[in-house]
Structure 1
Amino acid sequence: MQKTILVMFSGGLDSCYMLYYYLTQTDYAIHAHHISLRYPSEPRWSEEDRACRQIVEYCRQIRSFDYSESRFDIGFKRYAGRDSDTQLLMAAQVAPNLRGRGHLAIGWEKSDFELEVNRQRAKNKVTENLWNALCDSIDYPLGEHISRTILFPLIEMDIDKGKMIAALPNELVEMTWSCRRPRKDESGISQPCGKCKPCQTIRFAKMSQ
């Protein structure tokens, strides 16, 4: 059975590298899915949506792959959940529609585990248990061809953002969007805030090149 990688794609550096890696270094069928995450505390979805579409257009010059989008609105000012849990929820909706045997790939990398909450979640296998529960909830036999093992390629490759930037084409790096709190300049064009953790991490990675 054909192996299809479901890449959960945000338009940020990590997921961009993951998509580029699978397209250039493997011959698997690829399906990239972007969730337009919309909650008031971090109004970044328009920038992420635009980045995703630009990156997809660029990467389709490498080889063909499937792409889909969904939208997740959270009306509360404070969103206390984890984006990765929302990814799993939507992945369980997409995976039954994949051709062949589906394998879910998440773009976590080692710096994500600097947060104690993420270390505890990994220790307790929260993500893996949630994915198994979601797969169990899929009506039989639609979920039979979905792998229960989540792929974490960036962790397995032990690659950091500096190495990702060095490996990606420069124009592709510039298309990515990782800022969580974008601001508008005098012309109304979105600019990274430069203060959130993703902005600081990427700035440091670029300086180290």
Structure 2
Amino acid sequence: MEKNSPEKPTILCMYSGGIDSTGVIHELMTNEKYVDHPLIVHHIHIWNRENRAKAEAAAVNAVLSYYQKNVERKFLVTESTFSTMGFAALRSNRFPFDMDVCAFFSGNICAARKDIGFVAMGRTKTDVDSGGDNFAMRMKRAQAIFKSVLSLEERKLPEYIFPVVDFTKKEIWDFLPEDVRKNTWWCRRPIYEEGKRPKPCGKCITCKDVKDFANASV
């Protein structure tokens, strides 16, 4: 069958530029299980008090540029913006989880594109093993949001897929090409200096999760 045949359902990949979703991108670009499916890669510029939108956008641009230049697989890149900066006036200590935002946006994209049959997300073995009941409940809620958005659609619901769920974060890091690896972003509180590439804070939960392999390699 010819690659990207319209007979196969389109895969929508929600891409943040982080290690997990970059692993998903790599699988979708190189794994024979996925390469015959048309592919849409969507990035959400999430603006909140963590202020990581610029760092993530730079990672997304660099990584996708690599695959556009080095892999024959064709894909469509789209983007949107979600901001909770206005929450400051409410003195809110919380803002929506990324996976809830992704579920809402992916549901709406699927409503607009009837050819989408799968939504690819960056869930990993590390998430499953360490996240416990809280992570499972958050995943269940996100999928409920996704289904709710599509509740008025007269069609079979697209399926969530997790191409790197059998890999730990370190295993994903190890199989990524070096030029991809060095451009991923993981820190939740980036440090910005004018004229320089953003730096990881080294203190947030994700920096601590990857300190034994990622920080030493970049």
Contact 2:189 2:204 in 1 (8 A): yes
* Aligned residues between the structures: 199
Correspondence for 2:52 among 39, 44, 53: 44
1:64-143 alignment runs, 5 A limit:
64-74=74-84, 75-77=86-88, 78-98=93-113, 100-113=115-128, 114-115=130-131, 116-122=133-139, 125-138=140-153, 140=154
1:172-191 alignment runs, 5 A limit:
172-185=180-193, 188-191=196-199
Answer with 29-38 or 180-189: which moved more: 180-189
TM-score (norm 2): 0.82
CA distance in structure 1 between the partners assigned to 2:157 and 2:191 by the alignment: 40
Correspondence for 1:7 among 5, 13, 18: 13
1:184 alignment partner, SS class: coil
| Offset of residue 189 of structure 1 | 3.8
Correspondence for 2:202 among 194, 197, 201: 194
In structure 1, give the amino acid aligned to 2:82.
F
Q: Which residue number in structure 1 is paired with residue 4 of structure 2?
A: none
In structure 2, give the amino acid aligned to 1:88.
A
CA distance in structure 2 between the partners assigned to 1:201 and 1:104 by the alignment: 26
Q: Which residue number in structure 1 is paired with residue 23 of structure 2?
A: 17
Contact 2:122 2:162 in 1 (8 A): yes
Deviations 1:37-81 (A, max 9, x none): 0012x0010111111111111111212101100000112143332
* 1:183 to 1:197, Cα distance in 2 relative to 1, 3 A: same
Contact 1:3 1:100 in 2 (8 A): yes
2:17 alignment partner, SS class: coil
* 1:91 to 1:101, Cα distance in 2 relative to 1, 3 A: closer
1:43 alignment partner, SS class: coil
Query: Which runs of 5 or more residues in structure 2 are unaligned?
Result: 1-6
2:64 alignment partner, SS class: helix
In structure 1, give the amino acid aligned to 2:17.
G
Q: What's the RMSD between the two structures over aligned residues?
A: 2.3
| Offset of residue 195 of structure 1 | 1.0
Correspondence for 2:162 among 127, 152, 155: 152
Q: Percent identity?
A: 27
Deviations 1:148-188 (A, max 9, x none): x3112222xx1011111111111100111111101134755
* 1:146 to 1:67, Cα distance in 2 relative to 1, 3 A: farther
Contact 2:110 2:116 in 1 (8 A): no
